[in-house]
């Protein structure tokens, strides 16, 4: 029995290696899929397109705008002059966020009054909007603290009280929270599933199609032996694909691979 | 062009589909299953994230901060722990997504106005979630700081506006921040791609493989009559599936529909012609049903799923993938669909997308017309 299974395994291997289409099929689709998934799935928002409607046009408003344009999270696409322009840009998906600075910004700030800037977000993509809004408010908050400190300094009180609570974040397993590091381990599972599923699905039906199944039927091989002999080569090929995909993930996307890290 | 002959092919194809239960089930199940799975599973919203709290300080002041986390709708305190090992264990078993650690000298430092560090540990296996969690924690910390500042300044007898600059983010088009409002309109494009391209990819090659093509070759049927008759039933099926998807979006997911219903129908019908053309092109170029099937998955389903922006944001992809995404017809329907559904856009904003879809349709139909030779091979 083992001998017959062994024969089938050898035959399948030879077939796989000698079939140029199959040879390509083993290597190419996993890598292409890994590359597309690795690059296409990216939730690390950078260079979010934004527009600014600056009605104040003072030194302070320009300072604030500079904080946005110098931040890597944002890309200042254009300066606008009217709400109409803003709607238009958002409708055409040109910008995700618009910042509206009111005309009396500096007047109110100098007078020590509270002033409000408007942040308008395209909420179509709720996830993007959420992250954008967070980036924007942290820039605005920093600026507010800066102004407050300026004011306190002017009054002769040093900044003893400003923002003592700091958040020290540590992200385990993926310190920089890179999307590809999160997704590629999942892609490995998906790629292997697709490849092994398709290869084994083809294995028997191909014999049927070419007509060689008939030859197998008259041979002494039993159905169980045939199935085992057909499956084992593809298990090995799939495992080779696993190694391949993990290698590409590690070398190309620098996804860490840490076996034996967990102690629990 | 003879409409009677086209009609005959149309009827034949329709009967064919009707009497093939497997494909009939596919036609109805694909949109329903895809929408159910993706509509519910693909959610980026964070609510009640389980966190662990490791309070080394155990004072009223530290409790006060923890209380802010407990009160937030984004977090739920899963457990109070007393060691880093416990955090590590809970994180490994995925019972918590984040943990906060308050240092032993928390109250003293806060009282004396010195900087104090709140340690936040997040699970980076999902980078996006970790990012969101950090954002929420930072906003809680910012608010806490502001309140401290108020107290401190009041001690000094000062009472001026504390937040010199505030902002009120306004979220347009998706006020409730629901992921499904974003996902469902995009999914319609994917569903139509799958149904339209996959089914038509098989329609011509099947006749060839089964040998029934030869019988058709012997009839006076002309090339375009054949193509039109073949595509007709799939067009109707595609539209039916679109209505199923729309109805589910409306009644099950309660996605707002703000634009013109007829404009949406017209433009998605145009898109359907594009994917039918794509499927037809595959069908006339493939050598076997299997090959046609694989080509259809590779050239229509995967790009529309990955690169159309239906699920993954195009703006954050590398430039090369962004350019490729312009070659994926579904990209334009995703634009149109979100535009009409959420933004209520009119023709004025959408004509360019429609024009590009129209060009795609002409291109695919003309190319498959050229490739399809009425000859016995």
pLDDT in tens, B81-120: 999 999 999 988 889 999 999 999 888 888 877 788 889 9
CB B350 within 8 A of CB B339: yes
DSSP structure class, residue B101: E
pLDDT in tens, B38-63: 888 777 777 788 999 999 989 998 99
Nearest to B113 among A161, A173, A262 (CB): A161
Tell me the whole-structure pTM to 2 decimals.
0.81
pLDDT in tens, B159-194: 555 566 677 777 788 777 788 888 899 999 999 998
Of A10-24, A231-245, B189-203, least confident by mean pLDDT is A10-24
pLDDT value of position B157: 67
Q: Give B173's contacts in chain A (Cβ within 8 Å).
A: 122-124
For the cut 90, the answer to whether the pLDDT of residue B239 exceeds it is yes
CB A257 within 8 A of CB A188: no
CB A101 within 8 A of CB A51: no
What confidence category does residue A264 fall into, taking pLDDT thresholds of 50, 70 and 90?
Answer: very low
Per cent of chain B over pLDDT 90 is: 35
- The answer to whether A127 contacts B174, with C-beta atoms less than 8 Å apart, is no
pLDDT in tens, A104-126: 888 888 877 778 888 999 988 88
pLDDT in tens, A148-193: 777 777 777 665 555 566 777 787 888 878 888 888 888 888 878 8
Q: Give B302's contacts in chain A (Cβ within 8 Å).
A: 33, 36
For the cut 60, the answer to whether the pLDDT of residue B155 exceeds it is yes
Arithmetic mean of pLDDT over chain A: 84
pLDDT in tens, A200-210: 887 788 888 78
Distance in Å from the first CA to the final CA of chain B: 24
- The answer to whether A112 contacts B173, with C-beta atoms less than 8 Å apart, is no
- The answer to whether B117 contacts A181, with C-beta atoms less than 8 Å apart, is no
What confidence category does residue B78 fall into, taking pLDDT thresholds of 50, 70 and 90?
Answer: very high
Please choose, from the candidates A101, A80, A97, the residue with its C-alpha nearest in 3D space to the C-alpha of residue A136. A97
What confidence category does residue B360 fall into, taking pLDDT thresholds of 50, 70 and 90?
Answer: very high
CA distance A180 to A256: 11
Residue A82 touches chain B, beta carbons under 8 Å: no
pLDDT value of position B226: 87
* Residue A48 φ then ψ, to 5°: -70, 125
Scanning B143-202 for CB atoms below 8 A from A yields 144-145, 148-149, 152-153, 156, 158, 160-175, 177-179, 181-182
CA B177 to chain centre: 14
Average confidence (pLDDT) over B229-237: 91
DSSP structure class, residue A162: S
| Number of H-type helices and E-type strands within chain A | 9, 5
pLDDT in tens, A227-245: 888 888 888 888 888 888 8
Residue A137 touches chain B, beta carbons under 8 Å: yes
| Beta carbons within 8 Å of B225's beta carbon, 6+ residues apart | B1, B2, B5, B6, B9
Residue B4 touches chain A, beta carbons under 8 Å: no
Please choose, from the candidates B191, B178, B361, the residue with its C-alpha nearest in 3D space to the C-alpha of residue B255. B178
Kindly state the tokens that stand for B191. 């569903």
| Residue B155: CB atoms within 10 Å | 9
Please choose, from the candidates A44, A127, A143, the residue with its C-alpha nearest in 3D space to the C-alpha of residue B171. A127
Q: Is A98 left (phi over 0), alpha (psi -120 to 50) or beta?
A: beta
**What CA dihedral angle connects A137, A143, A149 and A152, to 10 degrees?**
-90
């Amino acid at each position: 029995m083992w001998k017959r299974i062994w024969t089938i395994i050898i035959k399948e291997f030879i077939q796989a290696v000698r079939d140029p289409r199959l040879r390509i099929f083993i290597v190419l689709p996993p890598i292409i899929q890994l590359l597309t998934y690795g690059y296409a799935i990216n939730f690390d928002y950078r260079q979010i397109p934004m527009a600014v409607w600056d009605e104040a046009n003072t030194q302070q408003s320009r300072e604030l705008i500079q904080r946005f344009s110098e931040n890597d999270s944002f890309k200042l696409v254009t300066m606008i002059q009217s709400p109409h322009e803003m709607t238009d840009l958002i409708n055409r998906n040109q910008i995700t966020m618009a910042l509206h600075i009111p005309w009396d910004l500096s007047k109110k700030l100098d007078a020590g009054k509270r002033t409000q800037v408007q942040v308008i977000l395209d909420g179509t993509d709720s996830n993007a909007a959420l992250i954008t809004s967070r980036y924007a408010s942290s820039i605005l908050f920093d600026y507010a603290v800066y102004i407050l400190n300026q004011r306190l300094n002017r009054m002769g009180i040093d900044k003893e009280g400003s923002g003592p609570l700091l958040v020290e974040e540590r992200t385990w397993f993926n310190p920089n929270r890179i999307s590809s590091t999160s997704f590629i381990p999942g892609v490995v599972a998906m790629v292997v599933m697709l490849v092994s599923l398709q290869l084994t699905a083809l294995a028997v039906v191909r014999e049927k199609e070419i007509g060689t199944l008939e030859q197998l039927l008259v041979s002494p091989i039993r159905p169980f032996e045939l199935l085992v002999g057909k499956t084992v080569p593809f298990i090995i090929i799939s495992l080779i694909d696993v190694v391949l995909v993990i290698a590409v993930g590690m070398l190309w996307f620098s996804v860490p691979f840490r076996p034996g890290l967990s102690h629990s | 062009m003879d409409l009677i002959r086209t009609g005959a092919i149309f009827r034949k194809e329709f009967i064919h589909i009707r009497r093939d239960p497997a494909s009939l089930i596919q036609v109805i199940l694909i949109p329903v299953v895809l929408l159910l799975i993706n509509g519910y599973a693909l959610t980026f919203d964070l609510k009640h994230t389980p966190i662990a709290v490791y309070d080394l300080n155990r004072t009223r002041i530290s409790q006060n901060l923890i209380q802010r986390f407990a009160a937030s709708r984004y977090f739920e305190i899963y457990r109070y722990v007393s060691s880093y090992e416990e955090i590590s264990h809970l994180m490994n078993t995925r019972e918590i997504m984040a943990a906060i650690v308050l240092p032993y000298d928390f109250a003293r430092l806060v009282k004396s106005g010195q900087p104090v560090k709140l340690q936040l540990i997040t699970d980076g296996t999902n980078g996006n979630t970790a990012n969101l969690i950090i954002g929420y924690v930072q906003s809680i910390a910012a608010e806490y700081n502001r309140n401290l500042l108020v107290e401190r300044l009041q001690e000094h007898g000062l009472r001026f506006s504390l937040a010199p600059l505030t902002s009120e983010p306004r979220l347009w088009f998706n006020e409730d921040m629901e992921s499904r409002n974003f996902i469902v309109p995009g999914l319609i494009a994917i569903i139509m791609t799958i149904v339209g391209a996959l089914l038509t990819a098989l329609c011509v090659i099947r006749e060839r493989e089964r040998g029934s093509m030869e019988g058709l070759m012997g009839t006076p049927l002309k090339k375009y009559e054949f193509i039109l008759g073949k595509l007709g039933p799939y067009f109707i099926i595609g539209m039916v599936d679109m209505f199923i998807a729309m109805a589910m979006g409306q009644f099950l997911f309660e996605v707002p529909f703000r634009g013109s219903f007829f404009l949406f129908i017209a433009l998605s019908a145009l898109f359907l012609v594009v994917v039918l053309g794509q499927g037809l092109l595959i069908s006339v170029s493939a050598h076997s049903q299997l090959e046609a099937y694989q080509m259809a998955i590779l050239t229509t389903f995967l790009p529309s799923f990955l690169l159309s922006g239906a699920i993954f944001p195009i703006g954050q992809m590398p430039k090369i993938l962004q350019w490729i995404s312009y070659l994926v017809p579904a990209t334009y329907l995703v634009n149109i669909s979100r535009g009409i559904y959420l933004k209520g856009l009119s023709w004025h904003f959408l004509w360019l997308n429609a024009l590009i879809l129209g060009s795609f349709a002409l291109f695919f139909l003309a190319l498959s017309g050229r490739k399809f030779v009425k000859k016995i091979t």
